[in-house]
Structure 1
Amino acid sequence: MKILYTNFHQGDGGGHTTYVMSLARILCQKSQVTIGAPRESRLLAEAEALPGLRTIDLEFKGNFLQQVTALRRLRTLLRKERFDVIHVNGSADHRLCMLATMGMGSRRPFIVYTQHNDRAASSLGVRLRAKWGTNRVICVCSHTFRRMKQSVFRNEDLRVVHNGVDTERFRPAGHGEAAQARARFLPEALRGRLVIGSNAGTADYKNWIDMVAAVSLLPAEQREQIVVMIAGHLPGEDKLAQVAELGMLDQVVFAGLLDDVQPFLAALDVGFVLSSRLETISFACREMMAAGKPVIVTQMGGLTENVTEGRNGWIVPPGSADAVAGTLSEILKNRGVLDAMGVDARGTALKEFSLATFVGKTERVYRENAYSQ
């Protein structure tokens, strides 16, 4: 099978990069896999470093001339390589692939589109792509499936394939690893505190500031027991000003954008993803759970499909620092439950977040191409 993966992100790409590389790393062992992405993207850099993957730099966004150039390059590639499947991951690359495949007739590749976010799928552009540029839609969680059933895409073309994570790579750390990780990321004075952290990034909709606000609401004797750690792009001046206004500058550590988040996860006691919109299943949430960390999540998107309240995490309303503060207070009163909850989080990951299942079900969607001929 010949597969082309595309993604429009020019920088880090977050979960999109994780998604594509998780599939490509395994499927390139038995299929011919090519990845098309912008030259400055993390996705292209990771793909170029992996033997067995072919790459092409494509800019899916830009001015009219750039778009025409990219369209010509893509059409040439498709006609030369005759891919069986194109797997698109966003509106910009989906649109360009739709245009590039027009007029190919029976040689047109089978186009699979993954809905990665919670945005409504009803605009004119989406309608055109649904009619002329989509054979199957992968929904990364049950919440997304329910949303997409109400969209312009055909119900019979929807498939649920939950995102998987590498549970061999993301695993619980030993005491020594955890101590080394804390020494790496935390000032000595903070290493004995309860470490609440997230590798979900610092985009506004991730609402990491709600965790900072929640800690600031605690009584002084509880507030001083906690440190908050955030991995991802450093936030802007406005968010840093909010942290300062909350009096939390000394209790928040920004680890920056990390090539490897495993040491960061090793330093945590509890993870969190407090998204207020756009969220689906969250790779970050699943990675933290695979690493044996119970997580605090909002009742948003597919996040609650990861967590069982009181067993491997806690579920709070989105945008409610008060509710998060209440949860933190209960955790501090009974820190002894964290080990058992971490074991349950790891067990859930092993049972439900399998990378093999994720890749296998995705490949099964690709092979529907043969059945539809």
Structure 2
Amino acid sequence: MKILYTNFHQGDGGGHTTYVMSLARILCHKSQVTVAAPASSRLLAEAGALPGVRTIPLEFKGRPLEQLRALRRLRALLRDEQFDVVHVNGSADHRLCMLATMGMGARRPFIVYTQHTDRSATSLGARVRAKWGTNRVICVCSHTFRRMKQSVFRNEDLRVVHNGVDTEKCRPATRGQAALARDSLLPEGMQGRLVIGSNAGTAVYKNWLDMVAAVAQLPAQQRRQVVILIAGKLPDAEQMQRVAELGMSDQVVFTGLLGDVRPFLSALDVGFVLSSKLETISFACREMMAAGKPVIVSEVGGLTENVTDGRDGWVVPPASVDSVVQALSKILANPDVLGRMGEEARSTALKEFSLAAFVGKTESVYREGHAQQPYRLRLTS
């Protein structure tokens, strides 16, 4: 098959980048894979480093004239390359691909759209994309499926394909690896503290400041035992001011964006994802659990599809700092429980977060579409 992946994000791209790269890295060995994304995106840079993957710099957002040029370029690409599948990952690239394929008739590629957030798809634009630019919808968790069933996509062919993570890459660290990771990431004197961290990013809706506020509320003796480690884009001035107001500037460490998340995962004792909205299954949560870390999650989106409260993590109400304080107090009162819960987290990841299952089920969606296009079967089979 010939597959085109598109994504509109500039810069890091977060979970969208992880998603596309997970698929491209494996499927490029059996299919012709092309990735189209903005020139400034991490996705384009990482995809360009994969042998056998073609990359196309393309802006999916911009001024009308810029969008017209991008549309013409994309239409020419689709006409010349005759892709079997175009897999879109956001409203901006979905819209441009829909417009680029209009009038192609039997030569139109099979368009797969992945819904990565739990935003309610009810706008006029979403309605047009559902009717004219979608052959199949992938929902990354059961929560997303339920949301899409209430949206303008409800009559489309919806499939649940849970995101998978590389459980070989994200695996429990040895004691020596954990010590080295802490030495490299934490300031002097903090290596012996309880390390609570998140690689879910610093966007406001991620509510990472709730963890900072919760640690700040602990009794002084307990508070001194904790350090918070945050990976992702560095916070803005307002967020940093809030950290300072909480008196936590010396206890929160920001790593910035990471090319390799493994040392970060190795340094943690406990993970957290405390999103208040937009969250679905969370690659970050699944990576931390695969690395053998129990995770504190909010009861939002698909996060509770990862964690069983009290077994491999803790589930707290969204935006409830008091509930996070209670969870931390239990951990600090009985830190020995982390070893057992970490093993359970790793076991959950091995059973349910399989990268092979994720890629295989996604490929099955492509092949169903491929089989429905006789013109393309004659050309590419």
The amino acid across from 1:23 in the alignment is L
Query: In structure 2, how many angstroms separate the alpha carbons of the residues matched to 1:67 and 1:265?
Result: 40
Residues 1-373 of structure 1 mapped to structure 2, 5 A cutoff = 1-155=1-155, 157-373=157-373
Query: In structure 2, how many angstroms separate the alpha carbons of the residues matched to 1:314 and 1:333?
Result: 15
The amino acid across from 1:320 in the alignment is S
Query: In structure 2, how many angstroms separate the alpha carbons of the residues matched to 1:117 and 1:285?
Result: 15
Query: In structure 2, how many angstroms separate the alpha carbons of the residues matched to 1:15 and 1:153?
Result: 22
Aligned CA RMSD, in angstroms, stands at 0.7
Query: In structure 1, how many angstroms separate the alpha carbons of the residues matched to 2:156 and 2:103?
Result: 24
| Counterpart secondary structure, 2:19 | helix
Query: In structure 1, how many angstroms separate the alpha carbons of the residues matched to 2:357 and 2:78?
Result: 29
Task: Out of 176-185 and 155-164, give the one that drifted further.
Answer: 155-164
Query: In structure 2, how many angstroms separate the alpha carbons of the residues matched to 1:320 and 1:239?
Result: 18
Query: In structure 2, how many angstroms separate the alpha carbons of the residues matched to 1:269 and 1:154?
Result: 41
Alignment size in residue pairs: 373
* TM-score, length-scaled by structure 2: 0.97
Offset from partner CA, 1:34-90 (integer Å, 9 cap, x none) = 000000000000011110101111000000111000000000000001000000000
C-alpha deviation, 1:156, in angstroms? 5.0
C-alpha deviation, 1:311, in angstroms? 0.6
Offset from partner CA, 1:161-212 (integer Å, 9 cap, x none) = 0000000100000000000000001122111110000000000000000000
Contiguous gaps of at least 5 residues in structure 1: none
Query: In structure 2, how many angstroms separate the alpha carbons of the residues matched to 1:370 and 1:186?
Result: 50
* TM-score, length-scaled by structure 1: 0.99
| Counterpart secondary structure, 1:229 | strand
The question of whether the paired residues in 1 share the 8 Å contact of 2:84 and 2:370 is answered with no
The amino acid across from 1:26 in the alignment is I
The amino acid across from 1:290 in the alignment is A
Query: In structure 1, how many angstroms separate the alpha carbons of the residues matched to 2:73 and 2:155?
Result: 33
The amino acid across from 1:339 in the alignment is G
| Counterpart secondary structure, 1:281 | coil
C-alpha deviation, 1:372, in angstroms? 3.1
Identity level (%)? 77
C-alpha deviation, 1:369, in angstroms? 1.0
Query: In structure 2, how many angstroms separate the alpha carbons of the residues matched to 1:270 and 1:353?
Result: 19
Query: In structure 1, how many angstroms separate the alpha carbons of the residues matched to 2:152 and 2:314?
Result: 34
Contiguous gaps of at least 5 residues in structure 2: 374-381
